[in-house]
Structure 1
Amino acid sequence: MIKLLPCRALCAGLVVLGLSASALAAEPSGTGLGQSWPNAQDVSASVHWHVYAFNNNGVRYIQVNDLNGNVRVAFATANGQFLVLPMGRDAQDISTPQQAIATSSTAVPLRSYTETLYRDSGVQLDATPMSDGTTMFTAAQTSTLAAPSCDSDPAECNTHLN
């Protein structure tokens, strides 16, 4: 009887370990807004940027990171309204339908190098390099733009942009 006790303890320990591992795996994806490497799928349409989209209570949050993981801009959108979030190195360099940015009188947008970073059924995000080395980001509603030629899945849609 005493020899069976260590065997039962070992079995019970393995069961607890197995349950805790499955609980960790059940953590929801799409978390980490504001982090360098969030627990979310990269839905960028560009190989030069990382774009992460998060949904919470009907609000879509979109974050752009550079290739080194630095947060550059983030914004929220719901029902055609946009709100720039105060995070990222370029938080002051994003234009939305509700908030246009003041461009520098010396920096010129290099429009021929504008790149679409993200597009879904309601939002398009473009990046335009400026002559002074900065980047201007522009978020717009896609309902006012040409309709995308893919479904509403951001990962699927963004692979068809290039």
Structure 2
Amino acid sequence: MLAGLMLAFAGPVLAQQQPDAGLGSAWPTDTPDVSSMPGYHVYTWVKSGVKYVQVNDNSGQVLVALANAGDVFLPLPMGSAAQDLRMPQDASVTTSPGATVYQDDTMMMTATPQTSGAVMFQAISTCTNPVECSTHVNGN
């Protein structure tokens, strides 16, 4: 009975010690932080030709996430700033004067502080070859 009681208390403790992995995690352990700006942590995954990008703040809180496959960008409904994420196909998007938090061969993510205190995140396509962009995702 004592062993059962110990396991009952140890279960939650053991669960808390499990490493975070994957999209939506505060501190993903299955991919490196590829942020290019202090104050942000950016994680990427590629699965079945789709790139997933997640931006976290310094405390590990998920801010925004998106999926990118070639020239198609889709915002993911997660993160405390999800409503402040702009995609290339959004009519209201203009090139932001924001700071670059992530960039690779096909896309760039910028962050622009707003007067309201919020931060607008913008995904920008950087692919210069439409055929290349529409056929596969480059890199990680």
TM-score in terms of structure 1 length: 0.62
Say which SS state the counterpart of residue 143 (structure 1) adopts: coil
Amino acid at match of 2:100: T
Aligned to 1:126, which of 95, 98, 110? 110
Q: Specify which structure has the bigger relative contact order, considering alpha-carbon pairs within 8 angstroms and separated by 6 or more residues.
A: 2
Amino acid at match of 2:107: V
> What is the deviation of 1:153?
6.1
Give aligned pairs, total.
108
- In 2, the alpha carbon distance for the partners of 1:119 and 1:95 equals 16
- In 2, the alpha carbon distance for the partners of 1:75 and 1:101 equals 18
More strand by share: 2
> What is the deviation of 1:59?
0.2
Aligned to 2:72, which of 78, 81, 92? 81
More helix by share: 1
Aligned to 1:33, which of 19, 23, 33? 23
- Is the 1:130–1:136 contact (alpha carbons within 8 Å) kept by the matching residues of 2? yes
- In 2, the alpha carbon distance for the partners of 1:65 and 1:89 equals 10
Amino acid at match of 1:54: W
- Map residues 35-54 of structure 1 onto 2, 5 A cutoff: 35-39=25-29, 40-54=31-45
Match of 1:62 in 2: 53
Structure 2 unaligned runs (5+)? 1-20, 129-137
> Structure 1 vs Structure 2: percent identity of aligned residues?
44
Match of 1:90 in 2: 81
RMSD over equivalenced CA pairs, Å: 2.0
- In 2, the alpha carbon distance for the partners of 1:84 and 1:98 equals 11
Larger radius of gyration: 1
Say which SS state the counterpart of residue 127 (structure 2) adopts: helix
- In 1, the alpha carbon distance for the partners of 2:82 and 2:44 equals 17
Structure 1 unaligned runs (5+)? 1-30, 103-109, 145-151, 155-162
